[in-house]
């Protein structure tokens, strides 16, 4: 498996083109999430949303690159959720041409290690009920459902997952 590096998204034009490519390589996810139409991808809106996300205190949006420098994933993290105090994964997206090659697992592991090394004992995220493959992915990595509720931003049915970091 190649080494993956994570760098904060700088919003340069080239990086944003890579981000758009990451999203449109996942048309099923885009349709299930309902935020961006993959056939008429709203690049400006996606950039504005990511800028807003990255500007939140304690939030980070990162691009994952493989050893050859190709962008293979997009990650959004929050180090302290305002309600439960746990760090959260807001988004983990792997390029569609590279699914099922262990990249998602590698990124999830890197995130776990990042928060474990900072002394956190648990990590959370919400999976859309409309993305059962994502639920299978997180479940295969030892995450467990702890609640079901709509997401605050869009009211979409979600499954809240928790992973102990001890």
Ligand X SMILES: CC(C)(COP(=O)(O)OP(=O)(O)OC[C@H]1O[C@@H](n2cnc3c(N)ncnc32)[C@H](O)[C@@H]1OP(=O)(O)O)[C@@H](O)C(=O)NCCC(=O)NCCS
Residues that bind ligand X (CB under 6 A): 26, 29, 92-94, 99-105, 125, 127, 131, 133-134, 136-137, 140
* DSSP-assigned beta bridge partners for residue 75: 62, 92
> Minimal distance in Å, beta carbon 13 to ligand X?
23
Residue placing its CB nearer to ligand X in the complex, 3 or 119: 3
Taking the C-alpha atoms of residue 61 and residue 64, their distance in angstroms, rounded to an integer, is 10
- Residue number, nearest CB to ligand X: 104
Residue placing its CB nearer to ligand X in the complex, 73 or 165: 73
Taking the C-alpha atoms of residue 10 and residue 2, their distance in angstroms, rounded to an integer, is 23
Residue placing its CB nearer to ligand X in the complex, 13 or 35: 35
Taking the C-alpha atoms of residue 35 and residue 79, their distance in angstroms, rounded to an integer, is 24
Residue placing its CB nearer to ligand X in the complex, 26 or 119: 26
Q: Per the structure block, which two tokens stand in for 100?
A: 């099922």
Taking the C-alpha atoms of residue 4 and residue 99, their distance in angstroms, rounded to an integer, is 14
> Minimal distance in Å, beta carbon 36 to ligand X?
12
């Amino acid at each position: 498996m190649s080494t993956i590096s994570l760098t904060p998204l700088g919003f340069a034009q080239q990086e944003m083109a890579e981000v758009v490519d990451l999203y449109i390589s996942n048309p099923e996810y885009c349709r299930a999430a309902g935020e961006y139409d993959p056939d008429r991808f709203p690049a400006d809106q996606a950039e504005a949303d990511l800028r807003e996300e990255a500007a939140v205190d304690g939030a980070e949006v990162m691009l994952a690159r493989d050893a050859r420098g190709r962008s293979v994933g997009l990650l959004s993290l929050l180090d302290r959720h305002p309600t439960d105090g746990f760090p959260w994964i807001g988004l983990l997206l792997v390029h569609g041409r590279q699914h099922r090659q262990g990249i998602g697992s590698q990124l999830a592991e890197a995130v776990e290690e990042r928060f474990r090394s900072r002394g956190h004992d648990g990590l959370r995220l919400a999976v859309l009920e409309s993305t059962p493959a994502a639920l299978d992915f997180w479940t295969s990595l030892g995450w467990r459902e702890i609640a079901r509720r709509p997401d605050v931003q869009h009211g979409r049915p979600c499954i809240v997952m928790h992973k102990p970091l001890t």
